[in-house]
Structure 1
Amino acid sequence: MTSDSFLAFVLFAAVATGTPGPNNLMVMASGANFGLRRTVPHILGIALGFALMIALVATGMAQVFGLFPWLEGTLLAASALFLLYLAWKIANAAPPEADRPQGRPLTFLQAAGFQWINPKSWALALTSVAVYVEPSQALIAAMIFAAVALPLVTIWTVAGAWIGRLLRTPRALRLFNIAMAALLVGTMIPAFA
């Protein structure tokens, strides 16, 4: 990777991980409902799970789609179902003041595993490999994505925690959760278009 392509890749990683998508909307909702501290495993799962995905895709996993074309449609369907499930969980999250038991944020492993069925993650990983990353640079690319993603995903979580403090009533938090769930479902539109 030349210095020019390195800078371009870092900027690509920043735009890719800093823009709205399933991961950022989920950590924003988690920040609003659980706060930053309880969402840290989710943040780390996104950053490190996606870094692992980049490394594996760059080292040849992308060829699997060439060998098994039906796998792409299956992955897309599984992604849609899981995103709908997550949207339902977000929309129905109990506000902290509710009498029923509180939910919990995604764990590190759940967030890392989510990368493998997240359509945006697949699009970013495949684009990274097609445009920027040679197989010999897989580890470097993974470290760049992790280093860029950690602060940006944390910013989304902090924004959610700040919004959570503004949403003082259970009704306001419920409306926020429904809006986040609707936006999460909306992130599927480009994958199916």
Structure 2
Amino acid sequence: MADILVVPMMAFALAASISPGPVNLVCLSSGTRYSLPKGLVFATGATLGFISLFLAIGLGLYSFLSVFSGFKQLLSWAGILFLLYLSLRLFLDSGELGTDEAPEAPSFMTGAAMQWLNPKAWLASVSGISAYTNSENLIELVIFASLYMPICWLSLGCWVYAGATLRRYTRQPKVIVALNRTLSILIAASCVFIVMD
């Protein structure tokens, strides 16, 4: 692999990771609603979930799913249902900070599973791998994944940190409810675009 591809790979990883998507919005909400470490646990799960998806696609999963289009369609609908479930939880959140009724923060496993059900993650994986690697060269795939991992984690961490920064200014439950509902609607809207695609 030419060394020159490293910079474009990193630029692609940054653009794909930092741009808004369902996982980024959950990171923002986690930072707003919970402590920074709890939000970063979700971001870590999402990062490792994405990298495992990226590697699986690079090793042939996408080709396998192309043969079994029914399974691919089922996976897409499962992703939509999961995103709508998260959107509903966020929409119904009371906005009360530090109460016993506060729902659990999104977990490491939620982050990992969300990436496997996230169409943006699939698109980023397929397009990045096809643009920057030779499908027969495992070393290129591993290098790309190694570059992608810290960029993805730092990008998601930025969204968590942005939420934590917002939290300082949103101590009132009404403000948190409004923010959560806005994010919830954006996540649900992303499902509409998935269905239209």
Fold shared by both chains (TM-score > 0.5):
yes
After TM superposition, where is structure 1 displaced by more than 6 Å over at least 4 residues in a row?
A: none
**Structure 2: any 5+ residue segments left out of the alignment?**
none
Would the alpha carbon gap of residues 100 and 53 (structure 1) be closer, same or farther in structure 2, given more than 3 Å must change? same
Is structure 2 residue 158 aligned with structure 1 residue 159? no
Which amino acid counterpart does residue 65 of structure 1 have in structure 2? L
Is structure 2 residue 3 aligned with structure 1 residue 3? yes
| Equivalence for 1:19 | 19
1:32-70: CA deviation from partner (whole Å, max 9, x where unpaired)? 000211112101011111111111111111111222011
Q: Structure 2 length as normaliser, TM-score?
A: 0.91
State the Cα distance separating 1:159 from its structure 2 match: 0.5
1:106-162: CA deviation from partner (whole Å, max 9, x where unpaired)? 211221111111111111111122211234122222211111011111111011111
CA distance in 2, matches of 1:12, 1:189: 25
Mapping 1:75-86, distance limit 5 Å:
75-86=75-86
Would the alpha carbon gap of residues 10 and 97 (structure 1) be closer, same or farther in structure 2, given more than 3 Å must change? closer
| Equivalence for 1:110 | 110
State the Cα distance separating 1:7 from its structure 2 match: 1.2
Q: Secondary structure at the match of 1:94?
A: coil
CA distance in 2, matches of 1:155, 1:99: 26
**Structure 1: any 5+ residue segments left out of the alignment?**
none
Is structure 2 residue 41 aligned with structure 1 residue 41? yes
Would the aligned equivalents of 1:13 and 1:145 in 2 still touch at CA under 8 Å? Answer: yes
Is structure 2 residue 139 aligned with structure 1 residue 120? no
Would the aligned equivalents of 1:94 and 1:103 in 2 still touch at CA under 8 Å? Answer: no
Which amino acid counterpart does residue 66 of structure 1 have in structure 2? S
Is structure 2 residue 139 aligned with structure 1 residue 148? no
Which stretch shows the higher mean deviation, 88-97 or 113-122? 88-97
| Equivalence for 1:133 | 133
| Equivalence for 1:178 | 181
